[in-house]
Structure 1
Amino acid sequence: MFPSKLLTGALLAAASVAALAAQAPQAAPGAAAQSPQSALAPAASAAASFVPQAPEGAEPAVPGPTPPGISQNAEDDTFMLLREAARQDDAARANAIASRLPSYAIPSYVDYYRLKPRLRDAGEDEVRAFLKRWNGSAIADRLRNDWLLELGRRRDWANFDRELPLFVRNDDYQVKCYALLSRLAKGEKIGKEARALLVNPSGYGEACNALLVAAAQAGQLTQEDLKAQLRLAGETNSTGPARRAASLLGASDTRAAQAVDLPALAMARGIGKTAAEHEIYLVAVGRMARTSIKLATVALKKNAHKLSAEERAVGWANIALAASIALSPDAWEDWKLAAGAPLSQDQMAWKTRIALRQGDWKTVKATIEAMPSAQRDDPTWVYWLGRALQAQDRRTEARRLFEQIAEQNSFYGQLAMEELGQLVTIPPAAKAPSAAEVAQVAANPDLQRALKFFALRLRFEGTREWNWGLRGYTERQLLATAEFARQNNILDRMINTSERTRTELDYTQRFPAPHDELMQPTAQALGLDRAWAYGLIRQESRFIVDARSGVGAAGLMQVMPSTAKWVASKVGIGDYVHDMISDLRTNITLGANYMNMVLANADGSQVLATAAYNAGPSRARAWRSTLSAPMEGAIFIETIPFPETRAYVRNVMANATNYAAMFEKRPQSLKARIGTIAPRGASILP
């Protein structure tokens, strides 16, 4: 534990620490951290009620959790070895380890880890026996996902088509591509669906690459589609798909690979004669622009006379995208030169963002309206289209758009509320779940398995089981399950579960403030906004005390090791060692002090300080340095170049607004909180 004497000294010293912030290290603190909010959650059905029913071969309910990370017995350690053997596709070792677990608490996973490494060699009867035995369970759906991928790889469309309707989650990108391949093999028209699906070359894998080739060879993707695929591959740095698209266009796949990986070499080889070779050259121009906009511009201008008007526009669009991400002052002029080019979704988004920075509402409106419907319906673009219409005095149309998203308690939902003349308030709490309601959901074997996995620190498996168990729940049952999560101190699941309700609301579940006996005095001593601190923690760790990110950020406030050491030296923790970062009191002390430092060096802007906490002070400083005049906070946030940081700042600011409404018990303005971002000559932190 953190020594109380040192803590007192740290808090007293903190008020003068801001002046030392100019010596801060360049490492981003916590926010390269994982996002614990799972993407596994299936939508809850509208069933009127649901009582958990044990599936065929149901497992016994497992006991409640032990403290996180502590195995209950030696069998748990053996189970962890089994899981690792399966992850390494070591079938022989997995089988040997599984034989040592004849009566483990979660037998379905023992069976799964025994079968998964040898799925390619397993017989159909064995797979079907597993699916039958564990029918209705999350792990059976997981194996069906694996089996569908194997059937697709084998091109066994008869069995694939038989299994696909039984795949409950149906959320695997590769499976979706195989599904279209299966239909194509039967002679169906799938071009439109393939065009809509094939937008993420970096995730194509075997299935989607095969779909691209087969659809093109069947004449269901046009030459223009293939050119778009080549551009998209270049845009996403995806060499394999670039090679395939080039080959399908009749061009050299080697030159396409060079355009993506070695753009300077590809440009030096010349522009070529065919339309496909021109496209490869333009990919190289776009890739070069990510490194040197100047060299890319020179190369495009040098060969402009050999290109058609549309090809020149495509080249400028590629440069404009890179210039936009760099927040270059030339980006706006580059987009003007790109007029008439077919744009990717990312290009449309960035053209809109640069138009926002320019205050060109006409272009904002036109570009959003040109987006595909799925992109256009995102709350981001619904809001900005509303603002564009409002700027053109089309207030009735704008109001309709704001009303579409105002009920969403999100960054853009809150901004839409303010455009409608409302502030952020905390809705009346629903009736608290009774003990009987909590007991009912607690008996759900899926949730019990989740608790077991959480006790073993297997959050991925635990989250999968938890979300599976929520299928068909009513809003009352969701509230009761969130309360069950609170009672078991699994606050990330409490938040996620409670956020699924639409009419039965409990914001103490959605926006908890645990450990306030530590946070409140710490924030008070620093003069730090407690609502902002909790808003950041909710985004950083979802209150998982022992959270660890892939880059080493740790604890509730996801503090990076180098940052923790530096801050500790500034607040008087002279005997700080790395393991102390896992202590809750120490983690809050270091994280809160660092927040205060970056805030002081951001002239009090929570937006800039939040961006610095996530992406690092030097990046936040660089983004601010692009400003030549004060900018609306929402526009600055929307034009943060890093997608992760952009979403992070949005979420922290929206969270903080909700926490302020809870703590202060009065309506809050998100617009006032994010304010205006002004230029500054001095650095945020060196």
Structure 2
Amino acid sequence: MQSLRVILLAIVLASGIDACARDRQRERSDFVLAEQAVERGDAAAFQALADTLSEYPLYPYLLYQWLKKDLTQTDGIRAFLADYKNTRYAPLLREKWLKSMAAQNKWQAYTENYIADGNVALQCLYHWARFQTGFQEQALLNAKRLWMSGSSQPGECGPLFAELEKSALMSREMIWQRFEMALKENHRQLAESLARQLPRSDRDVAESWLEVDKNPERIIELKNRSGNDALSARIFAHGLDRIAKSDPDRAVRLWDAEKQGLPLEDRIKQMTERRLALALAFQRKAGAYDRLTGLSVYDGEVREWRVRAALFEQNWEHIAAAVSDLTLEELKEARWQYWQARAFEVAGQAAEARSLYMQAAKDRSFYGFLAADAVSQPYFLADTPVPLAANDLAELAAEKDFQAVIELRALNREMEAQRQWWFATGKLAREKRARAAKLAESWGWHPVAIKTLAKADYWDDLALRFPVGYLEQVRNNALRHNLDPAVVLGVIRQESMLDSHAESAVGALGLMQVMPKTGRQIAREIQQDLVTDASLFDPDVNIRLGSYYFKKLLQRFNGHVALAAAAYNAGPARATKWLPNAGAMPADIWVETIPFRETRKYVAAVLSYAVIYQHRLDKPGLKITDLMPAVPPG
């Protein structure tokens, strides 16, 4: 009898669960139908469906879609902004509503309903509304602050800026200042527009400046032609900045020959000296260390590049001096502890070197692993999962914001789901945000889980940060191309965080971020079916092509994993260009002195991730120094 009651209870519970699932599926279907009614503008159908969805997690999203279609629904909008003020859609609706008021010149209503949120377009409209409602002076003072930008501001700022430009607040000096800012930030079109606002007597000078921006080799000719006034001197300095990008040695020679006679403020001279010194360091030029050492103003970037310039010279006396000039806060980083230890080691100060290596080896990073190898210590691979109580994830998933994410994912609205996720997690305290990362992990949403954990500043949950996905494809292709699966996983983790649908700004696709053109070329080489952009989102195809390409790069660079990783990120031509000119270079120095910050971080990440994935795959033994033999000359 007891067992029968248990069976009956189980049947009842299962029936309840099935009923809930059916109800939720019906709500999803009705939601889609309601969206279609919104598109048709069918108020009756929309209202009938919406009435049944008032408890559905995506009801605020649905209502937002209806209200934004007709922004004359003032009462409904006010009610929405009051009832759903804590949703992601309240500020979105308010923005559309405010812009609608502005389009109808309802300036008093605009000022009454505006809430400052950092949106520059809405700020401009607010100050324009203030101008229109009797607060001209205050509005123009605020306009001046918004106008002074090196980039173009939104079109909504146009009327306000037009009044500012007609007012006594606008000056010739302001226009020149913004003109120069625009050119420094590579907004040439804005600079050309500003040149037309200058007094006629200044326009020839502005045209010369624009000419130098386009063709910096003209600076000597224009300097001789224009004389030696302050504006001509600033044009000269601007041209040197441009020349330094391709030929820093020549830019330095020109500057040294002319700087004493240039009527420039000390601030501009110091900034020019700084940019030229850094340009030498970026391009690994001789003399970069001395130039950086001679600067009168130091900042973090200068201090770091002074170390790198000394490293490229392999001058250990300079390296020691440069590292010792880092701040105490900077010297807490494993990177600089490692280099200080290296300098002590070369100087024969073994005890000091070992102490610093041991300290750096406590860091789970590229430099921590290098330090551990230097003193034959095991890697610091502590794995401390995010602590969770029994109901933590269920309680978090039950919150309205996260219920909305679940429904958006169920409806295959991936981008909207991610936007809702970042809105939801952005409101959480650090500890709860770490739990949210575990929730995303439980859903198999690995890229989101990894990013969320980083935003929680929690780094020790290795299973979450380094998921072992697509292992069969990785192992098969690694075996086919004689690659270490841990290295392939390291590339995937760095390239896409295991997001098979990842797309980069330059068009690279999928897990290993294969460029479509490269994918098609590889497919021809390995006699595979024609590759389409869509096929690169298939993990089988992407890992097959990406691992083959990495193997090609390894062959090109004689099996050197660090060089192949640099080439995978920046292209083989750049990696070849960065090879030392004469004599082999220690690989740690070569990585540290890669000119591109992105590639420098990329190589360090891939190599350290490979070590971590060896640990995750229960195959310890790989040393980071195994992947870093000396870099041969080009």
Pair in the same fold by TM > 0.5: yes
Q: Give the alignment of 1:320-331 within 5 angstroms.
A: 320-325=277-282, 327-330=283-286
List per-residue Cα deviations over 1:324-353 (Å, max 9, x = no partner). 43x25346278369734x578766654553
Q: Which of the pair has more CA radius of gyration?
A: 2
Whether the 8 Å contact between 1:492 and 1:543 is mirrored in structure 2 is yes
SS in 2 for 1:660: helix
Verify: 1:656 aligned to 2:610, yes or no: yes
**What do residues 615-647 of structure 1 show as CA deviations (whole Å, max 9, x unaligned)?**
2211211122x4434444444334333343333
SS class of match (2:468): coil
Deviations 1:180-236 (A, max 9, x none): 9x9xx989xx9xxx9xxx9x955877999999xx9xx999xxx9x999988875554
Unpaired stretches in structure 1, ≥5 consecutive residues: 1-59, 66-71, 83-93, 370-375, 682-686
Residue aligning to 2:512: 557
Q: CA deviation at 1:132?
A: 1.8
Match of residue 647, structure 1, among 574, 594, 601: 601
**CA distance in 2 between partners of 1:413 and 1:136 (Å):** 43
What is the deviation of 1:537? 0.8
Shift in Å at residue 607 of structure 1?
Answer: 1.8
Partner Cα separation in structure 2 for residue 241 and residue 162 of structure 1 = 32
- The code of the aligned residue for 1:586 comes to V
What's 2:335 paired with? Answer: 383
CA distance in 2, matches of 1:510, 1:446: 24
1:424, distance to aligned residue in structure 2 (A): 2.9
Post-superposition offset of 1:513: 0.9
Deviation at 1:562, TM superposition (A): 2.4
How does 1:20-31 map onto structure 2 within 5 Å? none
Tell whether the 8 Å contact from 2:81 to 2:90 is kept in structure 1 after alignment: yes
Distance 1:99 1:81, change over 3 A: closer
Amino acid at match of 1:640: I
1:100 to 1:411, Cα distance in 2 relative to 1, 3 A? farther
Q: 1:521 — aligned with what?
A: 476
SS in 2 for 1:512: coil
1:108 to 60, 63, 72: 60
Contact 2:496 2:511 in 1 (8 A): yes
- Measured against aligned partners, the alpha-carbon deviations of 1:556-577 in whole angstroms (never above 9, x if no partner) come to 2222222222323333x34434
Work out which of the residue numbers 569, 573, 590 in structure 2 matches 1:636. Answer: 590
Give, in whole Å, the separation in 2 of the partners of 1:161 and 1:408: 53
Give yes or no for contact 1:95–1:114 (8 Å, CA) kept in 2.
no
Moved more, 449-458 or 94-103: 94-103
CA, structure 1 residues 560+472, in 2 after alignment: closer, same or farther (shift >3 Å)? closer
Gap change, CA 1:368 and 1:260, over 3 Å in 2: farther
User: In the alignment, does 2:595 pair up with 1:595?
Assistant: no
* Equivalent position of 2:7 in the other structure: none
In 1, are the aligned partners of 2:337 and 2:360 still within 8 Å (CA)?
A: no
Q: Say which structure is richer in helix.
A: 2
Q: Distance in 1 between matches of 2:590 and 2:157?
A: 36
Alignment of 1:445-594 (within 5 A): 445-454=400-409, 459-470=414-425, 481-499=436-454, 505-571=460-526, 573-578=527-532, 580-594=535-549
Matched residue, 1:273: 228
Q: How far apart are 1:357 and its partner, in Å?
A: 2.0
**Pair 1:617 & 2:534 matched:** no
Aligned equivalents of 2:324, 2:358: Cα separation in 1? 21
Secondary structure in 2 matching 1:547? coil
Which structure has more RCO (C-alpha within 8 Å, separation ≥ 6)? Answer: 1
Matches within 5 A, 1:168-187: none
Rounded to whole Å, the distance in 1 between the matches of 2:449 and 2:416 is 16
- CA distance in 1: counterparts of 2:598 and 2:227, whole angstroms: 38
Say which of 85, 93, 107 aligns to 1:135.
85
Count of equivalent residues: 579
Structure 1 position 522, deviation (Å): 2.4
Determine which of 353, 377, 383 is the counterpart of 1:427. Answer: 383
Question: Quick check: 2:519–2:531 contact (8 Å CA) kept in 1?
Answer: no
C-alpha deviations, 1:48-99, integer Å up to 9, x for none?
xxxxxxxxxxxx999999xxxxxx86975996999xxxxxxxxxxx895999
The verdict on how the C-alpha distance between 1:424 and 1:576 changes in structure 2, with shifts beyond 3 A counting, is farther
Secondary structure at 2:380's aligned position in 1?
coil
Letter in 1 for 2:612: N
1: CA distance between counterparts of 2:23 and 2:484? 40
Counterparts of 1:312 and 1:523 in 2: how far apart (Å)?
A: 54
Question: Would you say the 8 A contact 1:611–1:649 is kept in 2?
Answer: yes
Judging changes above 3 Å, is the alpha-carbon distance between structure 1 residues 498 and 129 closer, same or farther for their aligned structure 2 residues? same
Query: CA distance change for structure 1 residues 674 and 470 in 2, over 3 Å: closer, same or farther?
Result: same
8 Å CA contact retained: 1:657, 1:673 = no
Cα distance in 2, alignment partners of residues 262 and 290 from structure 1: 13
Q: What's the counterpart of residue 87 of structure 1? A: none
CA deviation after TM superposition for structure 1 residue 511, in Å: 0.9
**2 CA distance for matches of 1:446 and 1:337?**
53
Partner of 2:213: 260
Distance 2:337 2:194 in 1: 34
1:444 Cα shift? Answer: 2.5
How big is the alpha-carbon RMSD for the aligned residues of Structure 1 and Structure 2?
6.0
When normalised by structure 1's length, the TM-score is 0.64
Contact 2:337–2:357 (8 Å) recurs in 1? no
Identity %: 25
- Give the alignment's TM-score, normalised by structure 2: 0.68
Letter in 2 for 1:462: A
Instruction: Please state how far the C-alpha of 1:282 moved relative to its aligned partner.
Output: 0.4
Q: 2:319 aligns with which of 361, 366, 373?
A: 361
